[in-house]
Homo-oligomer: A and B are copies of this chain.
Amino acid sequence: MSSLAIDYAHKHQVRFLDELKDLLRIPSVSTLPEHNADTRRAAESLANEYRRIGMENVRLIETAGHPLVYADWLHAPGKPTALLYGHYDVQPPDPLDEWLSPPFEPTERNGNLYARGAVDDKGQTYMQVKALESLLAAEGKLPLNVRVILEGEEEIGGEGIAEFVASRPPELAADFVLVCDTELFADNLPTLCVGLRGMIYTEIEVRGAKTDLHSGMYGGAAPNPFVALAQLIAKLRDESGKILVPGIYDGIVPPSSEELAAWKSLPFDEEHYRQTEVGSKELVGEAGFSVLERTWARPTLDVHGMPGGFIGAGAKTVIPAKALAKVSMRLVPGMTPADAFAKLREYVLAVVPAGVEVDVRLIHSGEPCLIPVDNPYIRAATAALREVWDKETVFIRSGGSIPIVGDFARHLGLPSVMMGFGLPDDNLHAPNEKFKIANFYRGIDSIIRFLETTGESSK
């Protein structure tokens, strides 16, 4: 593997990491309105960086929420056009007291960089930025045409970019998308993700009395919204993890026998996974399916929190007037968000306990998607990864959701190459999120070689 751009990237690794740290210091938590100014600041910081490295037509594209960042470089006539996607928003950092170093003060420990967004997705978005810088600085040009589109709402449903993509704007005219928001199946194992689960994120609100009541005076007469909500949730999922919403499994497209066979050959030790990644006393999930099948190819239902009532220390003897549950479902090929939400809502409203009123609200959703692997971009990616990592690439799915990947396919006809360099224990969405620094560097190399290989193979 040799390339002027690779040489440049290696020479500037320390600076690249320092610049990433600056970006990670901006608390661009998209779901919290008090961080709206920070979120915009992260977008502006990236736009400035694209301008600095020589990208053109750089600008923020406003949406109803947080802005998109656009940039392009289109001076490679006859070559394909890559659309580089990433997101600059991050998950909330709570629970704060479990972080070993502050979430927005990037800290190096044991060869890792710890910070909220280190790997999801500022670190991976920044690999793209630094790959482009290395190519432009070392060669004075890019090996193909490049457009960049970043969003700031990936963690809250991505409505802004979804609308933008659906409008099929000229800014997104391209041949394929490079998405850097996934992970390696294992360290030192180059990986392309070719399937994502979709999701619906909902709120179930239960209302009982008109106001909070004293549980001594009214216990025995007033409905208790938390008990009712618990009874509802207990009807949504059995203890194995099977979803009890009628018809929810109808029409699911299972993985092919070839794909299942490939998954079986992946280096996966369930007991190691339980101990090091999950840490629970046992794993749970539908009987008859492996962990990879359950997390990649089966729908699941989770509760994320139940706001309302008394949550302070000590005791308050109140029957709360209302209770809320944040409930999401992951969806797999053959399911649609609209159908899954309709079935969930209909079922919940059919089993409402006595005395309470219930609303089910859809907060956001995303389609599941499967990527066809038989195209020149996937072939170029595996070639580039073989060069940088000296290993054959494995194809996996992810249990997570990147709804925009489905939108790129549906509205623009673009195949995505999901090339990510996180590790399974990187604590995405959790305290102590990290990015292995060596993987940040090899990720930059991989993107450089992928873009070069794609440009070369299409002359």
Contact = CB atoms under 8 A, between A and B. Distances in A.
Interface string A232-257: 11111101110000000000000000
A222 interface: yes
A279 interface: yes
10 contacts: A157-B315, A216-B399, A217-B428, A223-B282, A226-B305, A227-B233, A230-B230, A233-B234, A306-B309, A310-B326
B316 A306 contact: no
A430 interface: yes
A208 interface: yes
Interface stretch (A17-25, A101-109, A353-361): A353-361
Interface string A283-309: 111100001001100101111111111
Contacts of A428: 214, 217
Given A215-B429, A304-B316, 6 more contacts: A157-B315, A213-B277, A213-B278, A218-B278, A220-B330, A227-B236
A210 B316 contact: no
Nearest to A296: B220
A229 B215 CA distance: 20
* For the complex of A and B, 10 pairs with smallest distance between CB atoms: A210-B279, A216-B400, A305-B309, A220-B294, A234-B234, A230-B233, A31-B314, A307-B311, A219-B300, A226-B303
Interface of A: 31-33, 91-92, 94-95, 98, 155-157, 197, 199, 201, 208-224, 226-237, 239-241, 273, 277-286, 291, 294-295, 298, 300-320, 323, 325-326, 328, 330, 353-357, 363-364, 398-401, 424, 427-432
Contacts of A306: 226, 306, 309, 311, 323
A312 B98 CA distance: 18
Given A212-B430, A219-B295, A427-B211, A309 B320 contact: no
A442 to B, nearest CB: 22
B303 A212 contact: no
Contacts of A233: 226-227, 230-231, 234
A348 to B, nearest CB: 13
Contacts of A277: 213, 218
Contact of A280 (B223, B279, B312): B223
Given A230-B229, A314-B156, A353 B239 contact: yes
